[in-house]
Every structure is written in structure tokens, then in C-alpha cells.
Structure 1
Amino acid sequence: MAQPPLIPPTPELTQLAQIIQLAVAPVFLLAGLGAFLNVCAGRLARIVDRARKLEPRILQSRGEEHDRLIREVRALDRRIAVVNTAIFASVLAAVLISLVVILLFGAFLSGYKFGTAVALLFIAAMVATGASFAIFLYETRLATRSVKIGNHILEHEAEAE
């Protein structure tokens, strides 16, 4: 059985293949942002769980213990706000990257030249991505500062039996 002759790709098909190749990198970036959002959401869940565990203890405590628990809950509340900001910046970056991909295909289909818009959106997406990472770094620093192990624990020695 004879093979039909191969039809050389049309310029339009070649251009579409190039657009798909251009869209692959932003799509991988979206996957990375999705993984980062998963980390942020997990961290947020752990912070909220800790705050919920402290709430009943606060209501039952008095004196120095009460003041310590209040300080811890305030720090947790601050961390919740910071993680939420990192999540917002990451989602914003993902939306901007999605717009980049949409405009790449929109330019191909419509013939309009969206090059400047694509470049500006991609720059904005990178700024939002960088901001989300920086905010996340700040949150990890807050978490590290809030964990203070007292010297009485660090220097504690068990009594001999």
C-alpha cells in the first residue's frame, strides 16, 4: 500500500508550533507556582491549627502564662496575614502568566501584535513571583523568631536515678 505524499507544513502550522513552544515555559512556571501555593497553603493550615489549639488555653490561663499565650497568638495572627499575602502574590503571578499564554495564542489567531503586552505581563508576573517568594521568606523568619526555647530547657539536665 502506497504512502500518501507528506504535505509540507504550512506557514500557519509552523507558526502554531512555535507558539506552542513559546507557551511551554510559562506553563511550567504555572506548575511551579502551583507547587509553591501548595506549600503556602500547608503552612497556613499549620499556623491556623496552632492558633486554634491555643484559644481554649488562653481563656483558662492567668498571669505570665496568659501573657505568653497572647503574644504567641498575636505572632500567629501576623504570620497568617503574611502567608495570605504570599498566596495573593502567587495567585496574581499565575493569573498574569495565564494571560501571557492567552495573548500568545490570541495574537496567532487574530493577527494582532501583542508583543509589548506579553512582555509587560510577563515582567509583572515575575515581579509578583519574586514578591511572593520574598514574602514567604519573611514569614519563615517570623516563624523562626517566634520559636524561643528557654535557657532552662536548653540547659536542663535529668536528675540521676
Structure 2
Amino acid sequence: MEFVISTVAETIQIAIAPVFLLAGIAGLLNVLTGRLARVIDRARSLEQLHPRTTGPEHDRHVWELRRIDRRITVINLSISLVTASAIAICAVVALLFIAELSHLRIGTVVASAFIGSMVMLILGLVFFLIEVRMSLKASHIREELLERDRTRLDR
């Protein structure tokens, strides 16, 4: 009986790193869902303005709505990949215990699940970076709104 308790204690020690990784992923998911909520709020406000505008202003709203639609797609993909990564890490922890308690030699399966988790996390972070870049491109203030004094800038 004591052998099983020490085995469980050793497995818990091994599982601590993936559990900390899960905590980090939870924080990342919080950031991603917060960004998604802000993007959706902006889309809703533009959708309300859309029927009341015409001309160049209407065209800018349509352009921004298209950009927002792409951002929503990219951030949803990021959320899906990061969530799948978290699920794979949970599977790694479960497999560690199953392997240890049932004396299965599934080290390759555990390693493969962890590698898969890292690949999904990397891809999720890449899509997050893409979404941030899309946001920055769309956030530049149009030159005509800045009303710069050209004579002062030329000095």
C-alpha cells in the first residue's frame, strides 16, 4: 500500500509542470475572450450605424465590418487551438496517472500528447499575433482626421 502512495506522490510531482501550464493557458484564454468581446462590441456598434450612413462614411463602416469579421474568425481559431492545447495537457496529466497506476508503458503516447499540445499552443499564439497585427492595421487614424498643420511639420 505504501508503494502506491509514494508512486502517486511521484506522479503528482511530475504532473505539477503541466498543471502550471494550464494556469498560464487559462490566463491566455481570458485575454483572448476579452479581445473577442471588444471586437464583437465594436461590430454591434457599427451594425447600428451602418443603415444610417451613406457615401464615404458608409464605405468605411463596411470596410471595418469586413475587417472585424476576419478578426473574429482569427481570434476564434486562436481560442479553439489554445483550448485544444489545454485539453491535451489535461490528457497528459491523466495519462501520467493511468500509466503509473496500471504499470503501462505509454511514454511515447504521453510525449506525443504533450508535443501535440505545444504545437496547438504555438499555433494559437501565432493566430493571436495575427489578430493583434490586424487590429493595429485597422486602428491607424486616418490622415484627414488628424488635421495636421503642414507648415509646422515642414520645419
TM-score (norm 1): 0.88
Q: 1:115 aligns with which of 107, 120, 137?
A: 107
SS in structure 1 of the partner of residue 50 of structure 2: helix
Are residue 27 (structure 1) and residue 19 (structure 2) matched? yes
Q: 1:125 aligns with which of 107, 117, 140?
A: 117
CA shift for structure 1 position 16: 1.8
Unaligned runs of 5+ in 1: 1-8
Q: How does 1:1-161 map to 2 (within 5 A)?
A: 10-156=2-148
Read off the aligned partner of 2:115 and give its amino acid letter: I
CA shift for structure 1 position 140: 0.2
Distance 1:37 1:56 in 2: 29
SS in structure 1 of the partner of residue 7 of structure 2: helix
- 2:152 maps to none
CA shift for structure 1 position 113: 1.2
CA deviations 1:105-125 (Å, max 9, x no partner) are 001221111111000000000
Distance 1:26 1:33 in 2: 10
Please give the root-mean-square deviation of Cα atoms over the aligned residues, in Å.
1.4
Distance 1:58 1:156 in 2: 28
CA deviations 1:10-62 (Å, max 9, x no partner) are 44333222110110000001111010000000000000000000112111111
CA shift for structure 1 position 92: 0.4
Paired residues, what number? 149
Q: Which entry has the higher C-alpha Rg, 1 or 2?
A: 1
Distance 1:144 1:71 in 2: 15
CA shift for structure 1 position 69: 0.3
Q: Which deviates more from structure 2 when the two are superposed, residues 29-38 or residues 142-151? A: 142-151
CA shift for structure 1 position 155: 4.1
Unaligned runs of 5+ in 2: 150-155
Read off the aligned partner of 1:62 and give its amino acid letter: T
